[in-house]
Each structure stands twice: as C-alpha cells, then as structure tokens.
A and B are shown apart, each in its own frame.
Chain A
Amino acid sequence: MKILVCVTSVPDTITKITLTDNNTKLNKAGVQFITGPYDDYALSRAVELKEQLGGTVTVLNVGESDADPVIRKCLAIGADDAIRVNAEPTDAYFVAEQIAAIAKENSYDLILMGRESIDYNGGQVHGIVGEMLGLPSISPVMKLAIDGSTAKITREIEGGHEELEAGLPLVLGCQEPIAEWKIPNMRGIMSARTKPLKVVEPTGKDTLTHIANYELPPARGACKMIPASEAETLIKLLRTEAKVI
C-alpha cells in the first residue's frame, strides 16, 4: 500500500484572526501553525493502514519553508518521507496541480487529505486532484477500510451517512472519526530528523482566484440578559423583537 497524504500548515484552531497591511494580509505575528486538523486525521489513518498492511506513507505539502516544522511532525507521527513543493499555496487549483504532478510521477494507491483546510475552507482540492488524475474522489470520509484492492468507505451526508465501495486508487477528503489522532513519541521525533524531506519547485502557475483584501466580522451588540425566573420572556422577545420564531 503506497499512500500519499497531503497536509496543510494552518493557524491553530484557537487563533484569534487579526489583519495587517491595510487589511490585505493576515497577521502571522504570534500565530502558532499546526497541521490541518482534518489532515491530521488523514495522516493518522494512513499510518494505521501502513501498520496493518505494510507499505509507505509519503507526506506532501505545498508551502514555503515555514511549513517544515509541521512536515517534520508528520514524519514523527509515522510518515516515511516527505515532499514539499516550494511555493505559496495561492489557490485550490494551483495546489491541486502540484499534487497531481507529484501523483503522476509515483503511483499511489491512496491519496488522502483533510476534507478542507481550516484556513480558507474551500474543500475543493481533493475533487480537482481526482479530476486531474481521472480518479474517483470522495469526501468527507468518516471511515476507511481496505479489502484487497477495494476501499470500503463511510461518508457523512446531511442527517446521517452512506456506505460506499470503490476500487483503488482513490482520492479521499477525510474527517473524524476516521482515526484517533496520533501523538509523536520521542523515538518518532528523533527519527523524523533524518527522514528524507525533498523540496521540489512548482509546476505550472495557474491561479484562478485572488484575494484582494480581508475583513473581520462586526462585534455583536450587548447580550440582553433575561433572569431565569422570567425565562418565558425570551420566547416573547424572539417573536416580537428578534422576529425569528
């Protein structure tokens, strides 16, 4: 089983977003970058599958050198090697082009990634990669089991889930509870230092979108407090004042 796991380096989920340069840039000062939480699920499942079935796990990131700590952590969790495409991940199409180019050079049985990156929430890279490679893509995947050359998949839908079967190779966008997050141990951290991290230059430069500027949401007005002893008043206010019921 040869698995490629695509990971993003994104601001920690607890980050309070602030802007800089006249609202044209996100302020990175003091922001802790982490592996995308959904990508972490994909990586954890990939490492579990490798432990079960044998094979290799390669981590791929499209990003600049500031993503290296995140990539090293993926290696510490159990990936065998890593590739970084040395470019700013400007938009989904550009990132998908990079992933597809790497995938064409190597034949992977599975290409896993998070259902979406938690920064721009596009959720489109897996679909575009699938299209570029002529492979099925499925997202969001909650469970993944491999039976020979067939994948058995549970995908979340509104109000429930569906069970799917498809032959390998496949491109999958993953989410919980596909695996328990793995935490790197000391041995993993030590070995990650010497595992290969290949840096390659990007191919193509197609971007189809461009962010001109950013805005932060307006603060909500003061919270109107209702004493618990008059809880019924809330329902009246929701009808007559807020007009939502």
Chain B
Amino acid sequence: MSVLIFAELDEGALKKSSLEAIYYGSKVAALTGTSATAIVLGEGKADELAKAGRFGATKVLHASDAQLNEGNAMAYASVVAEAANQEGADVIVLAKSSLADSMAARLAGKLKAGLAANVIELPDVSSGFRVKRSIFTGKAFAFTELTAEKKILAIKKNTITPEETEATATVEAFKPALNDTDFAVKVTNVEKASGDILLPEADLVVSAGRGLKGPENWGIVEDLAKALHAATACSKPVSDLDWRPHHEHVGQTGIKISPNLYMACGISGAIQHLAGVNSSKVIVVINKDPEAPFFKSADYGIVGDVFEVLPRLTKAVQEL
C-alpha cells in the first residue's frame, strides 16, 4: 500500500499544481500510514526531480523516455498504471489539467479505480475513504465514499497550501513498457500562448466581460494583469463574440478556476459565470451598474466605469 502522485512537467519543470498534488499526496500517505511516491514522465531537470522531495515525496520514479516528452494521455495512463502496480499503490493523486484529466479517465478504466474529480479537502479515512468534492461547478459539494480497492483523487487548485522543506527523495529510473497503440493519436500542431501565466495555474486572475465594449479595449485589462503578474480571463459572451480566445473563458461551460484573487471587470455575474469562479478565495467586482448581481457574491466592490477605474488600479499596483 502506498500513495502515487502523477507529477506533470511543463517545459522540463514541475507544474505548480503538481507541487500541490505532491504535498497533498504526502498528507494522504501520512493519514494512511504509508509513503508517497511521485512519478514524473518525460525528460526533466535533476533539480526539478529533487523538488518533488522537498514537497513531500519520499521516492521519485522518473520515466525519462523521450517518447514521453509530449503529454500523451493514453501512454501516460499505461505508464502510471504500471508504476501503480509495481509500487502497490492504492491511492493515486493528481492535479487537474487538460492532460491529467484525460490521463486519469483512462487510468480509472485500466485499474477499475474509483475516481473523484475536483477534490477540495484531504480525505476522511476514519472509516472507509471519503472525500469532499465540488459538483455542479462549485454550486454544491458531495461527500463521496470511494469503495473500490484503487482510488484516484483529482484535486482542484488551492485544495491545500503546500509547504517546502529540506527533505530529499530517492530518484529511481523507471523503464515502462511502451505500447505502439498508445501512440495512435498524432499531434500535428500545437499553438500555445508563450510567456503568459496559464489561467488554471494562476494565483491571480483579472477577468473582463462585455462591459469592455470591444476587443480593442483589452489593453487596460492586460495592463492591470501584467502589473499584478495575473492571468487574464473573460466571460462566455466575450469568447462567443471572438473578442478573446476560448481558453480564456471561465464559467460553467468554460474553464473552472479557484485562484486566490478573481477580479471581474464589467461582468454582471450570471449564475453560469459565478459557477466557474465562486471557489476563488477573494472576489473583486468592478461594474458601473450598482444592481449587478455579481456584487452579492463579491468580497470587494467598486461601482464605477472600468475605463476609469482599471488604469488607476494599475498605477496603484505599480506604486506598491
């Protein structure tokens, strides 16, 4: 019995969300009286592997085959399943992402494992194995008993605050059997905004809606985001109108986020939008309409014109 954590690399470095997953996994291991092993796929820098130890893993399995450099959900699921079997892992932890979600679904099928997605707390192992997870896109929570022998927990951002220590992990090379059928899907092109802070990973998010009146006005949103080192996001109408790319759309049918700070500028706050952002720690709403429903779900509010307020906020951040 042990806990296995799928730790995801992005350009050779462990993702921030994966460090949270490793720390969470080490706490699950402590609760169940076992140890936490992280598995890293693809070529990763040695200091990145050591980082897994500082966040709570006692062992790191590194499958460095170059074929695994490209995130491939099917191949990754096979490798993680093989590692889980080798380690006798009955709990597998991962942080939600576009790759990890697809990988976890395949893994659940392979291991006949109970998968709980959007887990937001450590499990209750006092009798059985119970997790609290977000459902209805954050409009409710379900306490879910995982009754299968194998369990997969996909945690939401900000489930736990990771602490870095001086601990070290032993790093072992892991040489899984790779299967050609897992490489049947060919990636022909990848388009990814470079240099930007990825929205699902971001601690701070500045988001804007139709109140911005047009895509040409996004400069004031980007300026504030840049000053704060925040990611930018938008409401569904804005993405539907093609003012902003779809991967910035947050809400019930878009990306669901749970950052430390969510600033909504010129967004009225329809229930479908709130669903995607209501697990943010602090919500700020800036809207010229004092009746905007979003103010009821906010921690701080400014009734005012975003075209005047945002540049002043940017200046105030720069002067901090």
A interface with B by C-beta (< 8 Å): 11, 13-17, 19, 26, 37-38, 91-93, 96, 118-132, 134, 136-140, 142, 155-167, 175-177, 206-217, 220-221, 223-228, 231-232, 234-239, 242, 244-245
Counting contact residues on chain B (CB < 8 A from A), the size range is 35 or more
* A135 nearest CB neighbor, chain B only: B184
Asked if residues B301 and A226 are in contact (CB atoms below 8 Å), the reply is: yes
CB B296 to nearest CB in A, in angstroms, measures 7
Contacts of B297 in A (CB 8 A): 220
Closest 6 CB pairs of A and B: A127-B105, A131-B109, A228-B304, A208-B114, A160-B192, A208-B148
Q: Which candidate, B32-40, B138-146, B161-169, B209-217, is the interface stretch facing chain A?
A: B138-146
Which B residues between 243 and 289 are near A, CB-CB below 8 angstroms?
A: 245-247, 252-253, 256, 260-261, 271-272, 275, 278-279, 281-285
**Contact call B317/A245, Cβ cutoff below 8 A:** yes
Q: Which residues of A contact B278 (CB under 8 A)?
A: 217
Distance between Cα atoms of A225 and B309 in the complex (Å)? 14
A182 to nearest B CB, angstroms? 16
Would you mind naming 27 contact pairs between A and B with Cβ atoms under 8 Å apart? A17-B139, A93-B112, A118-B137, A121-B134, A122-B117, A123-B105, A123-B117, A130-B74, A131-B77, A140-B98, A158-B201, A163-B187, A164-B188, A165-B188, A176-B246, A177-B246, A208-B115, A208-B148, A209-B145, A212-B145, A213-B142, A215-B143, A217-B278, A224-B300, A234-B313, A242-B261, A245-B317
- Candidates B108, B204, B261, B303; contact of A127 at CB < 8 Å: B108
Q: Is the CB of A160 within 8 A of B190?
A: yes
Known contacts A119-B136, A127-B104, A234-B313: A242-B188 contact under CB 8 Å: no
Q: Are B137 and A121 in contact, with the CB atoms below 8 A?
A: yes
- Bound-state Cα–Cα, A46 to B191, Å: 26
**B316 to A213, Cβ gap below 8 A?**
no
CB within 8 Å for A37 and B300 given contacts A93-B112, A124-B115, A235-B316? no
For A245, what are the chain B residues with a Cβ–Cβ distance below 8 Å? 204, 228, 261, 317, 320
Docked pose: A225 CA to B200 CA in angstroms: 28
A164 in contact with B301 given A127-B105, A208-B112, A217-B138 (CB within 8 Å)? no
Chain A residue contacts of B107, Cβ below 8 A: 127
In chain A, what residue has the closest Cβ to B271?
Answer: A14
Cα–Cα distance between A131 and B76 once the two chains are bound (Å): 13
Task: Check B101–A123 contact: CB distance below 8 A.
Answer: yes
Are B185 and A121 in contact (CB-based, < 8 A)?
no
A127 near B102 (CB under 8 angstroms)?
yes
Q: Which of A124, A134, A163 contacts B104 (CB 8 A)?
A: A124
- CB of B298 within 8 Å of the partner chain: yes
Q: Which residue of A lies closest to B101 (CB)?
A: A123
Beta-carbon contact of B135 and A209 below 8 Å: no
Cβ-closest chain B residue relative to A224: B300
Query: Quick check: A124 and B191 within 8 Å, CB to CB?
Result: no
B49 interface residue, CB < 8 Å from A?
no
List residues of B whose CB falls within 8 A of some A CB. 73-74, 77, 97-99, 101-102, 104-110, 112-118, 130, 132, 134-148, 181, 184-193, 196, 198-201, 203-204, 228, 245-247, 252-253, 256, 260-261, 271-272, 275, 278-279, 281-285, 295-305, 308-309, 312-313, 315-317, 320
Taking a contact as CB atoms under 8 Å apart, the answer to whether A121 and B145 are in contact is: no
Question: By the criterion CB–CB under 8 Å, are A13 and B98 in contact?
Answer: no
Q: Which DSSP category, helix, strand, loop or mixed, fits chain A's interface?
A: mixed
A137 to B137, CA, bound (A): 23
The CA-CA distance from A226 to B146 in the complex, in Å, is: 46
**Could you tell me if B140 and A217 are in contact, using CB atoms closer than 8 angstroms?**
yes
| Bound: A225/B192 CA distance, A | 38
B33 to chain A, nearest CB (A): 23
Min distance, Cβ A179 to any Cβ of chain B, angstroms: 14
A26 cross-chain contacts in B, Cβ below 8 A: 140
Known A96-B109, A130-B109; contact A244-B281, beta-carbon cutoff 8 A: yes
Q: Are A121 and B135 in contact (CB under 8 A)?
A: yes
A159 to B117, CA, bound (A): 21
In the complex, A242 Cα to B256 Cα: how many Å? Answer: 22
Task: For residue B264, give the distance in angstroms from its CB to the closest CB of chain A.
Answer: 12
Bound complex: CA A164 to CA B113 (Å): 28
Identify which of B140, B285, B309, B316 contacts A17 (C-beta below 8 A). Answer: B140
Interface centre among B107, B118, B298, B316 (most CB of A within 10 A): B316
**What chain A residues lie within 8 Å of B114 (beta carbons)?**
91, 93, 208-209
CA distance A232 to B315 in the complex (A): 8
Q: Answer whether A223 and B246 are a contact pair too, CB < 8 Å, given A139-B102, A158-B198, A232-B312.
A: no
